[in-house]
Amino acid sequence: MSSSDARPPRDVTRNDVARLAGVSSAVVSYVVNNGPRPVAEATRTKVLDAIEKLGYRPNAAARSLITGRSDLLGLIVPDVSNPYFAALAQAVEVAARAKSMNLVLAQSTTGGIAPLVETLSGHLVAGVITATAPEPEAVAVALRSRVPLVRMSLATPTERLAIWPDYYGGARAAVRHLVEVHGHREVALVIGTDHPEATDEPMDDRERGWRDELVEAGLGTGHRIRVHWSSAGGLAAAALLVSAHPGVTAAFAASDQIAIGLVAGLQRAGRPVPGAVAVTSFDGSPGAEFAVSPLTTAGVPLARMARAAVAEVLGTVPKSRSYPTTLVVRESCGCGVTGPGNG
Amino acid sequence: MSSSDARPPRDVTRNDVARLAGVSSAVVSYVVNNGPRPVAEATRTKVLDAIEKLGYRPNAAARSLITGRSDLLGLIVPDVSNPYFAALAQAVEVAARAKSMNLVLAQSTTGGIAPLVETLSGHLVAGVITATAPEPEAVAVALRSRVPLVRMSLATPTERLAIWPDYYGGARAAVRHLVEVHGHREVALVIGTDHPEATDEPMDDRERGWRDELVEAGLGTGHRIRVHWSSAGGLAAAALLVSAHPGVTAAFAASDQIAIGLVAGLQRAGRPVPGAVAVTSFDGSPGAEFAVSPLTTAGVPLARMARAAVAEVLGTVPKSRSYPTTLVVRESCGCGVTGPGNG
DNA sequence: GTGAAAGCGCTAACAC
DNA sequence: GTGTTAGCGCTTTCAC
């Protein structure tokens, strides 16, 4: 501690273990990796003892250098502080750890993910799971470095290397509940956008689901509000809804975060949910239960999706790429509410 | 593509670059690392061109192997899907990336963190930031592998390698607001616990702050509820509060998550916040604004703390270890509420 | 200002 | 069933 530890004492290496156990370093390797060659039980025990005694821990860098792969797995999300992506990250971390993989978390808050994929691939990650839509350059980088880039929970599904919730079906179920169970005729859509000014954005499957469900019921699709994918966006949507769409009696929010803000904003504007306006949403995040009006929401099976995404990174072709949602019925739709309401 | 790519084509290495640029591999190294030796401008350009042309990317494993360190930084949290830890993780990721470090995220959902520290140190991480209290064995592992283990946002501050919000001061401010501004005399504490049955847990500084503030105001400290650190816990606390502490007119919740459940539960129990019970809490998480009653909460400066924690991992002794909170005043305390209330 | 070369700790042929 | 050994891609000392 006196000098600025100029050169840290070397870690205990596989050779130290071999020496103490009285075997060759190869045998230590076979024991540590359970292969690729068999080891006699007695020898194995000696090695294990030596490892224990020395507190030996394999150097992941050396291993990666030779194998060309690591036990690292990249995860790119727009922003982990968003509860949906937080839930996604937690599910992926659990799924990764179940496969003895470590998660490297990267946020794409600003700009493209190509530099992130580049960095990650420099770490020889087994693959990258992205919840941010990769721009063409990012895809090119992944291809060039031969790193599987698995899209997870993106609104515009691809056929290859992607896992997504059934946005379309979930949205239809959430809208159908409003129409069939509660009899609403004017159902607005409140959806997010990443490019507020862009007009040629591909249509989100949740929007498609909302539209088709209304059309099939013979209802109009004139009420559509686009805001940020956040509770603040939902708050803004509430203001818009009361001012520009006064006749609306129900709304489908494309995410719980939006719904949380929407429901709070509606309440503040004197249009309580579900009394004045019924709301359903999409995600099934834990916080939905504690919204100003507990949210009825299409629940996404993140744990299963995460396992599928990790498996896909590891080279397993998943049985299914689209995961059905389950409508969690609470109160924001008008169900089970006592007192003044339109149930 | 026909065979199962038995042996992936070797990546482009530093030698390829050297060959193309017509220099030695050492020079490539000097260019890539900006040192440790100077390189002529013309040579540098040639090298850079070759790198560009070949799409060369340094192999992090090889670099780590020789330097004995990586640009990886470990972060251990109990559960990223908890909004507080999600916010913490996002702040740490940003702070890490600002220092060109990559975050390896590990969750300690079950059991001790020693195995995680062990794994992380095998990856030669520059350090580990933990928001889960390390058990003695974890500390020993970190010591043995000479990995700095920085505690972040732990309720029981240490003197070394730790960064924390001013739990004590923040709690006092939140309680003081209830007492001095709103005149409450019976202020309950709703706090979490990791070991529901343990009785010898060290006292959380938030509890100490709550107690001292009340004592100095000449008030009683008889109302204390311990639940899980979650919104579900807050919901349970609401039930307990109405049944076992009917005289209470205000409560300080030790976390926003608890407060969110508490406020929702109180509302459901017909004791609206802040009308019937005023509430303040601790954290300042984004979601607090959208609680059933927008939360007045002691805001924690996570971004600054994250920068300090990352700096500490990197060997900088922080100017400060304790970070003051800022009371964000909204409505749950009774401020700015029109209509029936006890403002 | 540049090059040659010695390993970092580990894996996996290959030899015995 | 075990040992020997040749690198993996990179950094850095040391010569020039």
Condensed to tens digits (0 to 9), the pLDDT of residues A242-270 reads: 999 999 999 999 999 999 999 999 999 99
Q: Is the pLDDT of residue A339 over 80?
A: no
CB < 8 Å to B83, chain A: 81, 83, 86, 287
Task: Identify which of A61, A79, A261 has the shortest CB distance to residue B64.
Answer: A61
Q: Which residue is nearest to nucleotide C9 (CA to C1')?
A: A62
What pLDDT does B156 receive?
Answer: 80
Contact A185, A219 (CB under 8 A): yes
Nucleotide nearest to A63 (CA to C1'): C10
Q: CA–C1' distance A64–C13 (Å)?
A: 18
pLDDT category at A199 given cuts 50, 70, 90 is confident
CA B334 vs CA A171, B177, B276: distances in Å:
38, 10, 10
Test B260 with A287 for CB contact under 8 angstroms. Answer: yes
Counting DSSP H helices and E strands in chain B, the numbers are 12, 12
Return the number of other C-beta atoms located less than 10 Å from residue A342's C-beta: 15
Chain centroid, CA B1 distance in Å: 45
Q: Is the CB of A65 under 7 A from strand D?
A: yes
Chain centroid, CA A86 distance in Å: 7
Task: Identify which of A79, A87, A104 has the shortest CB distance to residue B90.
Answer: A79
Q: Is the CB of B64 under 7 A from strand D?
A: no
Quickly list DSSP for B315-327.
TPPPS-SEE--EE
Q: Is the CB of B154 under 7 A from strand D?
A: no
What pLDDT does A10 receive?
Answer: 60
Bases of chain C within 7 A of a CB of the protein: 1-5, 7-14
Condensed to tens digits (0 to 9), the pLDDT of residues A144-161 reads: 889 999 999 998 878 789
Q: Which residue is nearest to nucleotide D2 (CA to C1')?
A: A27
Residues in chain B: 343
Test A72 with B109 for CB contact under 8 angstroms. Answer: no
Test A290 with B86 for CB contact under 8 angstroms. Answer: no
What pLDDT does A338 receive?
Answer: 60
The structure's pTM equals 0.93
Task: Identify which of A55, A57, A287 has the shortest CB distance to residue B287.
Answer: A287
C-alpha torsion angle, residues B131, B170, B205, A287 (rounded to 10): -50
Convert B71-96 to b/e letters by CB count within 10 Å (16 or more is b). bbbbbbbbbbbbbbbbbbbbbbbbbb
Q: Which of A260, A290, A332 to mutate to test the interface with B (most CBs of B within 10 A)?
A: A290
The residues, any chain, with a CB within 8 Å of residue B195's CB and separated by 6 or more, are B201
Q: Which residue has the tokens 């999706």?
A: A305
Test B287 with A58 for CB contact under 8 angstroms. Answer: no
CB contact residues (below 8 A), chain A span 16-35, against chain B: none
| Burial class, A58, CB count within 10 angstroms (exposed 0-12 / middle 13-18 / buried 19+) | middle
* Closest alpha carbon to A251 in A280, A275, A213: A280
Task: Please tell me the distance from the alpha carbon of residue A264 to that of residue B332, in angstroms, as a whole number.
Answer: 14
Q: Is the pLDDT of residue A343 over 60?
A: no
Q: Give, for all 343 residues of chain B, the pLDDT tens digit.
A: 333 333 345 678 998 899 898 999 999 999 998 878 888 888 999 899 999 998 899 999 999 999 989 999 999 999 999 999 999 999 999 999 999 999 999 999 878 999 999 999 999 999 999 999 999 999 999 998 899 999 999 988 787 899 999 999 999 999 999 999 999 999 999 999 987 677 777 899 999 999 999 999 999 999 999 999 999 999 999 999 999 999 999 999 999 999 999 999 999 999 999 999 999 999 999 999 999 999 999 999 999 999 999 999 999 999 999 999 999 999 999 998 664 444 3
pLDDT category at A11 given cuts 50, 70, 90 is confident
What pLDDT does B6 receive?
Answer: 30
Token pair listed for B13? 């290495």
Q: What is the mean pLDDT of residues A171-190?
A: 98
Task: Identify which of B57, B65, B82 has the shortest CB distance to residue A118.
Answer: B57
